[in-house]
Amino acid sequence: MIELRNITKEFRHKGKITTALSNVSITVPQGKIMGVIGESGAGKSTLIRSANLLERPTKGEVIINGECLTQMSPSELIKVRRNIGMIFQHFNLLLSRTVFDNVAFPLELNKTLKKDITQRVLELLKIVGLENKAYDYPSKLSGGQKQRVAIARALANNPAVLLCDEATSALDPATTDSILSLLKEINIKLNITILLITHEPDVVKKICDEVVVLNEGRLIEKGSVAKVFSCPENELTNYFVSSSIHIQIPIEYKEKLTHIPCAGKHLLIIVKISGQFELHTILSDIRETYKTESNIVCMQMDDINSLKVGAMLIELRGEASDEQFVVEFLKNNNIKVEIAGYV
C-alpha cells in the first residue's frame, strides 16, 4: 500500500521558490494499479520520485506498507527501499553487463548468496519472457526487451511496491501494449502495488484501477478509471479522456464536410458513450419523435472494468430543424454531443 499525505515539494534556485507539488494526497490500495496523468511540468515525476524519497518532500508524509519513510534515518531508508522497485523511461541498464548480470545486480548489492542469485534471476527472466536472452548484452536487445530486463531487475528483491516512471513512453505502440500486459500480469500474479506516471491516457485506460490527474502541481481529479473516463469533471481531464477516443471521419465524408449549414447537407455528430447506453432505444426515439434517421458511420468502444466507454460518429438525416432538436434531445438525456460538421 502506498500513501502520500499532503505532499508539497518546493525547489529553490537563486533565491526563487518553485512549487512542483502542492498538498497532494493519494492512496494506492494493496494490489492495485494507480496511474498519474498530466501534461509536462504537472509534477508527475516529482510525485513518483517522492514515493521512495529520491525527492524528499518539503512537507508531508510518505508511507509504504504502514512504514513512514519521511521519519526514517538514512540507514533505515536504504533497507526499506529494497522493498520498492522502480522502472525508468530509458531503462538505465549497465551496458557492460549481460542481461543476467543486470538482473542480478540488486541481489549482489543485497549480498544474496550466489546460488540463490542464479535461481532468482532465471525465475525472473522466465516471468518477463527473456530466458533465452540471459547472456546477451543490452546492445543486442530491442527497446521492449530492454524494458523487460529493467522490469525483472526491479522485481529482483521481491518488492511489494513498483514505481513506473513513464515506462512505455520510449516504446512503439505494439511494444507498449506488450509491456502493459506484462505489468498487469505481474500485478495479478504477485499482488504487487503499482504506481505509474504517464502522459498517455491509453496507458491508464488499459491497465489502471484508479487514476489521478495533476495540473501545475495540484491534484485536480481522482477516482476509479471507469468513473473518471466515463464522467470527467475537470476540463483538463475531459481533454485527456477525449484524446483517448480515436474517431476518424472516413475520407468520403471528409471530402464533402463543411462547418456551416448548407442546403441539402445533414448534421454529422460525435456522441460520447459511457455506462449503460441503450443505443437502440435512443435511435428509435430519434426516429419516431423527430422523424430523423440515424446512420452510424463508425464507432470506438472500450470496456473499462466492465463499463462501456467510447464514441460514435452519427449522420443525422432529417429536416435541419429536426436535426438540431435531436442534438438538444441527446444533451437533455445527459449524452455528450459534439458537432463534427455537415455532409
Domain range annotation of the chain: 2-243, 251-342
Instruction: Please tell me the predicted confidence (pLDDT) of residue 152.
Output: 97
Q: Please compute the mean of the pLDDT values over residues 21-35 and round it to a whole number.
A: 97
Q: What is the mean pLDDT of the chain?
A: 91
Computed from CA positions of residues 111, 113, 116, 122, in that sequence, does the dihedral angle turn out positive or negative?
A: positive
C-alpha cell at 165: 516512471
All cell numbers assigned to 39: 501534461
Please tell me the pTM assigned to this model. Answer: 0.84
pLDDT of residue 118: 96
Which residues, in sequence order, are CB contacts of 134 under 8 Å at separation 6+? 98, 99, 100, 121, 122, 125
CB of 97 within 8 A of CB of 88? no
> Which stretch, 163-172, 181-190, 289-298, has highest mean pLDDT?
181-190
Q: Does residue 192 register a pLDDT over 70?
A: yes
For residue 305, pLDDT beyond 80: no
pLDDT higher than threshold 90 for residue 285: no
Under a CB-based contact definition with an 8 Å cutoff, are residues 326 and 261 in contact? Answer: no
**Which CATH superfamily groups domain 2-243?**
P-loop containing nucleotide triphosphate hydrolases (3.40.50.300)
How far apart are alpha carbons 132 and 130 in whole angstroms?
5
pLDDT on residue 261: 86
Residue 232 has what pLDDT? Answer: 86
In this structure, are residues 278 and 258 in contact, taking their beta carbons and an 8 Å threshold? Answer: no
**Phi/psi at 199 (nearest 5 deg)?**
-105, 5
Average pLDDT estimate for 288-303:
85
Strands 218-224 and 267-274: unpaired
Does the pLDDT value for residue 304 go beyond 80? no
Residue 337 has pLDDT above 80, yes or no: yes
Residues 290 and 293: their CA atoms lie apart, in Å, by: 9
> Is CATH 3.40.190.150 correct for 251-342?
no
The string of pLDDT tens digits covering residues 69-101 is: 999 999 999 989 989 999 988 889 999 999 999
The reported pLDDT for the residue numbered 230 is 79
Cα–Cα separations (whole angstroms), residue 342 to 260, 295, 323, 335: 7, 14, 11, 20
For residue 73, the number of C-alpha atoms closer than 13 Å in the C-beta half-sphere is: 2
pLDDT above 70 coverage of the chain, percent: 98
pLDDT at position 165 is 92
| pLDDT 10s digits, 251-274 | 999 988 998 888 889 999 988 877
Q: Are 210 and 305 in contact (CB under 8 A)?
A: no
Span 142-167, pLDDT tens digits: 999 999 999 999 999 999 999 999 98
pLDDT, position 276: 60
Of the pLDDT bands very low, low, confident and very high (cuts 50, 70, 90), residue 63 is: very high
pLDDT at residue 45, rounded to an integer: 93
Whole-number pLDDT of residue 181: 95
Express as a percent the part of the chain with pLDDT over 90: 61
The C-alpha atoms of residue 315 and residue 150 are separated, in whole angstroms, by: 48
Nearest to 270 by CA among 322, 338, 219: 338
Please tell me the distance from the alpha carbon of residue 124 to that of residue 191, in angstroms, as a whole number.
15
